[in-house]
Each structure stands twice: as C-alpha cells, then as structure tokens.
Amino acid sequence: MFRYPARLKADEVGFTVTFRDIPEAITAGETREEAIEVGSDALATAMDFCFEDKRPVPLPSDAKRGETLIELRASVAAKVLLLNAMLAQQVTPAELARRMRTRPQEVNRVIDLGHATKIDTIALALAALGMRLELNVIPA
C-alpha cells in the first residue's frame, strides 16, 4: 500500500528514523530491523495528528538515494485515503454518516486510527463518497 521514504541514521545507541513526507514522525530502534518496525508505528501516530486537526495526510513521495521505504499498515493506509477524500470533498463525518445511513458515532470510529475497522466498512465509506477502494497484490 503506502511506503514512506525514511532516513535511518546510525548513532551510538542504534538508528534514528525520520520521514521527509511526515516530519512529525521521528523514532529510533537499537537495530536497523527494530527501527524499521517502530517506524511504521511512528508514522501512524504522527498521522493521527492530521486526523485530529482535519488536515490531509501527505501521500508518500518517491524514495531518494539512501532512504529506506517503510510500509504503513493497510488499515491505516485505507483510513488515510478516506480522510483525504472527505477533506477534498468537504464532507463532514455527520454528512458521511447520512450518506451511509448510519450514526455519526460509527463514522467517527471509522476515521479513528486507534479503532480497528473492517476493510469492507472503509470501502462502504469511500463508496458513499463516489469512490472505490482497490486492493492489489504485488511481488515483495
């Protein structure tokens, strides 16, 4: 889904991870593997600020030399697409709930990164915005 370019900088205690596209996301790990693993969590945490502030989440840019791509969890990526679509169309959670014929509380859960949401529910929300969610399987 979404793979964000990250800089992994070695220091005396491990690796610091920063993201060009999401500067609020900063983390570290003792090993390179741990730094990459916690990098995905740092991305989601930083994106939560965009959700709270109702501002679009920047999409990943192409990696530059020396950067490592860190993948965002599929459920978070789908919610990012939903939030960005809602903001682009100026659709409030209440309006989306009306279109989906559900309660506003349900929509608030769908756009909450901390709440587990079935992918089908996110697809229905996007459909209510006139969009279709597509999934692809590609070689790793």
For residue 6, what is the DSSP state? E
Let me know whether 13 and 64 are in one domain. Answer: yes
> Do 65 and 83 fall into the same domain?
no
13 shares a domain with 57:
yes
Domain encompassing residue 40 = 3-71
- Mean pLDDT per block of 10 residues along the chain (140 residues) reads 93 95 96 95 94 93 96 93 97 97 95 94 97 89
pLDDT score of 134? 92
This prediction has a pTM of: 0.90
The domain total for the chain is 2
Kindly report the CATH number assigned to the domain that includes residue 56.
Answer: 3.30.160.250
Instruction: For residues 118 and 106, state if they share a domain.
Output: yes
Euclidean distance between CA atoms 10 and 2, whole angstroms: 24
Q: Give the dihedral sign, CA 92/96/102/105.
A: negative
Task: Determine, yes or no, domain membership for 34.
Answer: yes
